[in-house]
Chains A and B, each alone.
Chain A
């Protein structure tokens, strides 16, 4: 495990229990990460996908949309086409890595925005209570009563099917999920003695929120985020699959699975390769979430 990826969640975890020796904490976290197989497998899978999504398309020898009708249905491991070609002779490797890039961009991008927006409102509602809480919680409940896929389909009707409708739908719904959980976390936090104490000696609300509340909700939020990235990726793929998301020839993983569905019987890899890619990244993210939850929970640290 490299330091870079261990440091990411750890830097943010500066709670009251933070020790005076940060170097040791990284080492300590690294040791626990290696001992936790779930977190380890999860982070290896996620890291592999990040590398594939970022650098994969640069290494592709073919364009993802160039057709070659002289070389259709090539099996994986064919010369020139490491993952074969599809029914239109397009290079499967180029399409796969582009699809992974799209999935990751949507998964991480939308989740990051949802996390910031949801976190903001969740903290406000949980910390200030009163009418602020009433309004925000009402809005959150309202948002939650819409099934994500339904919103996406209606938006696809409004904006025309495409990635934007999908992105908008996922963002519009998922911020509420973050707001809900973070509000709950803050509700219990604000009753803690050290926050009461800070308030008693006259520390401003802003300072309490930034210095004491925020660092303590980072861990549960990161755990949630990894599940939400997986959810976003599944939603995008599903919507693209039924034609309500990304439109061909853009090789979203869902579009690729849909494109290969008619050839499943004899040339299954056209559909199987992107399908397995989705399953793996979702499993990786779920593992990472479970693992992080165990690692970041101080109660389970012994």
Chain B
């Protein structure tokens, strides 16, 4: 895991710095003279070879110094407190929405297979997979902000600001979860143990709701970690559209403005979150599937 983070940090470090254009182009007045620019670059140490800059950076990080934003001068901890919290709220809401909605709907669709309910749920999940999130975002803004004036189209911090970004971020994941849960349930329903449970006289509700759904959950759980990664990736797009001041928005903005320390720090933070959630998914896998624990 540590290896992944180090490799990732090197990759991001190089990627940012080999780019044409540097902070002297975005931070200084466009009319600034070349000497001024050179001095600015010198002060940031940008004239050194990249590998040297990297070691300086790592040295600072090891002393707990992640640098400050070139634009606002804010420290990374301050930024993380504000933007990190917002992203956490959005990400967790979307993640919960995905599973709290997707799993029950998938179960219902499988239990009432080929009924109207199944048809409606399946149609929505197919649509949910097909609609790109930015397009869904535009449609929601059009309907709920521009036409109905129920929800604010962008900005932050309140439940009414959270609704649309969370729904958009959760839409695709929910659709995929519904489909997977449905097919996983159908697969399990054909197994022998289901017949045994039914013949024991357990109610249909117990069979489906307690026994079958638990085994059917396994593939969902194994993908939950990956799902978190997707949510983080798409958060970059969704936060940018809704101007939700989270890490994704900050990252896109800092890459555009070449705010190296911020871009560096937060891309690594996001990678860290993805790695950790994959790890958690592996653990959860063992809890849901008792067969794995024995090995």
Select from chain A the residue with minimum beta-carbon distance to B3: A142
Kindly list chain A residues whose C-beta atoms are within 8 Å of the C-beta of B15.
Answer: 154-155, 157-158
Kindly list chain B residues whose C-beta atoms are within 8 Å of the C-beta of A146.
Answer: 8, 271, 274
Chain B: residues with Cβ within 8 Å of the partner, total of 48
B237 CB to closest chain A CB (Å) equals: 5
Highest count of chain A CB atoms <10 Å: which of B16, B226, B233, B263 = B233
Contact-residue bracket for chain A: 35 or more
CB of B124 within 8 A of chain A?
no
Kindly list chain A residues whose C-beta atoms are within 8 Å of the C-beta of B146.
Answer: 264-265
B255 contacts A154, CB within 8 Å?
yes
Highest count of chain B CB atoms <10 Å: which of A144, A146, A282 = A146
CB of A286 within 8 A of chain B?
yes
A257 contacts B16, CB within 8 Å?
no
Contact string against A for B residues 124-168, beta-carbon threshold 8 Å, 1 for contact and 0 otherwise? 001101111111001001100011000000000000000000000
Kindly list chain B residues whose C-beta atoms are within 8 Å of the C-beta of A286.
Answer: 126, 129-130
A282 contacts B129, CB within 8 Å?
yes
A243 to B252, CA, bound (A): 10
Highest count of chain B CB atoms <10 Å: which of A238, A257, A258 = A238
Interface residues of B in 240-260 (CB under 8 A from A): 240-241, 251-252, 255-256, 258
Among B130, B258, B271, the residue within 8 A (CB) of A279 is B130
B12 contacts A154, CB within 8 Å?
yes
B236 contacts A154, CB within 8 Å?
no
A39 to B129, CA, bound (A): 17
Interface residues of B in 15-52 (CB under 8 A from A): 15-16, 18-21
Interface residues of A in 202-248 (CB under 8 A from B): 234, 237-239, 241-244
Among B8, B126, B237, the residue within 8 A (CB) of A241 is B237
Kindly list chain A residues whose C-beta atoms are within 8 Å of the C-beta of B251.
Answer: 150, 153
CB of A149 within 8 A of chain B?
yes
B134 contacts A158, CB within 8 Å?
no
Asked if A242 meets B252 with Cβ closer than 8 Å, knowing A142-B7, A150-B270, A154-B12, the reply is yes
Among A142, A150, A283, the residue within 8 A (CB) of B267 is A150
CB of B82 within 8 A of chain A?
no
CB of B184 within 8 A of chain A?
no
B134 contacts A257, CB within 8 Å?
yes
Chain A residues proximal to chain B, CB less than 8 Å = 142, 144-150, 153-160, 234, 237-239, 241-244, 254, 257-258, 261, 264-265, 268, 271, 275, 278-280, 282-283, 286
